[in-house]
Amino acid sequence: MDFNSNWKYLWVFIMSLIMAFLTVLRFCNSEEKQDKSSFFRELLIETIGSMFLTFLFYEICIYFGLPHTLSVMLGGGAGFLGIKTLRAIAIKWLENKFNAK
């Protein structure tokens, strides 16, 4: 690994931090804060999941040969959507594919 290839991951890391921050803002505005322990647990899961999705989609895009800047943008978009949204999209797609309800 050369020095220049490591700098590409810095941009992905910055994008994942931005997406985590936006996820926290979205989560705090949408969820009811009655039970603090479950709220913080869900907040932590959403934040780390957002960062993970950003890195995962970046690596998938790089694997398929997309340019670095486009891969960072698509990774950030997937991180912003979040785990719950992508899970709902996947479940809906599978239900339509296999005619299951």
- For residue range 3-38, list pLDDT tens digits in order: 566 788 888 899 889 988 888 888 777 656 667 778
Domain boundaries, given as residue ranges, for the chain: 3-98
Stronger pLDDT, 42 or 63, i.e. the higher one:
63
Mean pLDDT for 66-88 is 89
Mean pLDDT for 73-97 is 89
Give the pLDDT of residue 6.
72
Segment (H or E) for 101: none
Query: Rg of the chain over CA atoms, in angstroms?
Result: 16
pTM given for the model: 0.79
Return d(Cα 86, Cα 88) in angstroms, integer.
Answer: 5
Return d(Cα 44, Cα 33) in angstroms, integer.
Answer: 14
DSSP letter, residue 62: H
Return d(Cα 81, Cα 58) in angstroms, integer.
Answer: 14
